[in-house]
Homo-oligomer: A and B are copies of this chain.
């Protein structure tokens, strides 16, 4: 069985399952494995140190799959921002057809991508932001609930509410993100009005994810309660795995008058990358969503996607069909 939706038709994939952009994880190994399995793999632009390195990573991914894949470009406010326009040009020049945008004020990037015929999927965490992105001209929304790894925003609206609330107002297709990892979630997302699911944490615990096995085993071992919200007091909330580092960050920022500078060394991207690559779980912050409570193994991307679709089929044709009485 396949599940064909407005989103699979839009981006030309077999299964309505997307691997969301993830810093240090969204490399060619993972993106190509997801795309080869019929989902949509996504490279993370800023994981590459330079726009030229991104060009090479796109070439590398293209050598590993002939299926569609996309590139994530996340725009965060910064005093010394990366050269976004140059990364954007690398994406366009490389002939990428699908981009996932996220973050603040993407209009300039959306305009430029659309001018080059690129399909833009914008990820956001609130209905009002989704409507704003629709007005900007994006082709689809990835709506990200409170359950998610990374930045859930400050509204704390989980997918059960956020997905149907957004579906009631959007005209463009929407996929659901945050809290998804199995066939049950996929059917729930489709019932709530989404046209597919986006998964991050679940794809980190796959054979092909280019991170240390210790991190994959951490996700398998952790239950749904083992995440922490950091940066809440800074109105820049991020959900990460519970660890000695994240507990320390929460503790420091809970002190009156605490500012970001107080935790900067603990939360640096370099330290997070070190944790992912060396498997030293206390080296830095590791992002993880609550869905880790539903993750119990480390399959290949193909095994995972096949299982999700097979389980969704069993739910639709078995459990749900058997409940119906005329």
Binding site for B on A (CB under 8 A): 1-5, 127, 145-147, 155-162, 164-165, 167-168, 178-180, 182, 184-185, 187-193, 223-225, 256, 290-291, 293-294, 313, 315-317, 319-321, 323-326
Question: Copy number of this protein in the oligomer?
Answer: 2
Shortest A155–chain B CB gap in Å is 5
For A158, the chain B residues whose CB sits under 8 A away are 145-147, 158-160, 179, 290
Whether B182 contacts A161 by the Cβ 8 Å rule is no
Q: A165-B293, A294-B165 are in contact. Are A325 and B1 (CB under 8 A)?
A: yes
Is B224 touching A190 in the complex (CB atoms < 8 A)? no
Contacts of A167 in B (CB 8 A): 184
Report whether A3 and B324 are in contact in the complex, using a CB–CB cutoff of 8 Å: yes
Pick from B3, B145, B225, B324: contact of A155, CB below 8 A: B225
A and B contact pairs by CB, cutoff 8 A, 12 listed: A3-B324, A4-B323, A157-B225, A157-B293, A160-B160, A160-B185, A161-B294, A188-B189, A191-B320, A256-B256, A316-B321, A317-B324
Given the interface pairs A147-B161, A293-B165, A325-B3, the reply to whether A184 lies near B179 with Cβ below 8 Å is no
